[in-house]
Amino acid sequence: MKDISVPAATAEKSILKALRGETQATPPIWMMRQAGRYLPEYRATRAQAGDFLSLCYNSELAAEVTLQPIRRYGFDAAILFADILLIPDALDADLWFVTGEGPRLSTIEDMSGVTALKGAGDIHDHLAPIYETVRILRRELPEETTLIGFAGAPWTVATYMIAGRGTPDQGPAHKMREEAPEVFDALMARLTEATIEYLSMQIDAGAEVVKLFDSWAGSLKGEAFQRYALEPAKEIIAALKARHPETPIIAFPREAGDGYIGFANATGADCVALDNSVEASWAAAHVQKDGCVQGNLASSHMVTGGQALVNETRAIVDAFRGGPHIFNLGHGITPDADPENVQLMIDTVRST
């Protein structure tokens, strides 16, 4: 008999096959924000935890909400329930969430703000509950389900730390990178190091894949995109590959447009996640030619449903049929989505 070095159960997971470059008749599927407010069972557990951050740091309940969409829909992957802003929290920036509005943080204004942050190696005590969530999930997930860990990319996390909140145009971060580049670079360096440490610990705890969310990469153009989106991704991926060569990495430079072309090769990512501003046929020709892609149904279809959802889902599956593909939305599902539309999307993907 042939000697297989990878355990059979691991080798059979459809998400891992796609990430290793295999073209499959039916793409595996999961959904950004699949554990979220559109699900009544999520809202109940969140109420039990008290608030969103308490839910993130409660390992048992965070594992429970991660499992809810797996039980309900049988997605091929589970994504760790946490948030990209836990890194600033662990670095000692204050973080709180205002209901109905979003995150608030203490702001980084000058070099003293950066030097007051903790060292990248000192985040693990604070983040220990997250690693525990990962360990619980590896025990409790069905064996065919892949566990994805994640972190925010340095640019996206920096935009929140500099502004102290979400911003429509990331103006304060752009201002700092132009007017105080030494402060900005010091913050980016700290975040890059912390992200490597954090993802490496998630992998040690049992994450089988990690994803880097650069949600605001699209506001970086030209040389700035290379310097603050591409270069940090490359550095983080190189460090993780050196420590964990077998762990696939998904990069999500959201709204990068032409910046998606060559991104996987330039950074070493195993897969590029696509937002829905790019056409699937364009992405098949220009991005999937280099390897696995993930995406990219508009999340608005989860609100509106109907024949348009079915048609667009089929068009995306067809466009990416010639290469490795993981079906997903182009961004997170929204709280006003109808859980029945999620089932319709899954049924359509699996029957197309």
Which of the residues are catalytic? 33, 37, 46, 83, 160
Q: Which is nearer to ligand CP3, 103 or 154 (CB)?
A: 103
Residue 105 backbone dihedrals phi, psi, to 5 degrees = -140, 155
Sheet (strand 146-152) strand order: 77-79, 146-152, 209-214, 249-253, 271-273, 292-297, 325-329
Confirm if 293 and 324 have CB atoms less than 8 A apart: yes
Can you tell me the distance from the alpha carbon of 225 to that of 169, in angstroms, rounded to the nearest whole number? Answer: 15
Can you tell me the distance from the alpha carbon of 16 to that of 166, in angstroms, rounded to the nearest whole number? Answer: 33
Q: Which pair of tokens denotes residue 243?
A: 């420590």
Least distance in Å: CB of 191 to ligand CP3? 14
Q: Which is nearer to ligand CP3, 79 or 272 (CB)?
A: 79
Least distance in Å: CB of 282 to ligand CP3? 22
Q: Which is nearer to ligand CP3, 332 or 339 (CB)?
A: 332
Least distance in Å: CB of 76 to ligand CP3? 14
Least distance in Å: CB of 1 to ligand CP3? 40
Q: Which is nearer to ligand CP3, 163 or 284 (CB)?
A: 163
C-alpha angle 99-339-352 in degrees, rounded to nearest 5: 135
3-state secondary structure (DSSP) of residue 255: coil
With CB atoms as reference, the residue minimizing the distance to ligand CP3 is: 215
Can you tell me the distance from the alpha carbon of 90 to that of 134, in angstroms, rounded to the nearest whole number? Answer: 17
Can you tell me the distance from the alpha carbon of 202 to that of 133, in angstroms, rounded to the nearest whole number? Answer: 10
Confirm if 72 and 39 have CB atoms less than 8 A apart: yes
Can you tell me the distance from the alpha carbon of 21 to that of 1, in angstroms, rounded to the nearest whole number? Answer: 25
Least distance in Å: CB of 322 to ligand CP3? 28
Least distance in Å: CB of 50 to ligand CP3? 11
Q: Which is nearer to ligand CP3, 89 or 193 (CB)?
A: 89
Q: Which is nearer to ligand CP3, 66 or 323 (CB)?
A: 66
In degrees to the nearest 10, what's the CA dihedral of 94, 96, 102, 107? Answer: -20
Site residues, ligand CP3 (CB under 6 A): 32-37, 46, 52, 79, 81-85, 102-103, 150, 152, 166, 213, 215, 332
b/e 171-181 (16+ beta carbons within 10 angstroms → b): ebbbebbeebe
The DSSP letter of residue 165 is: B
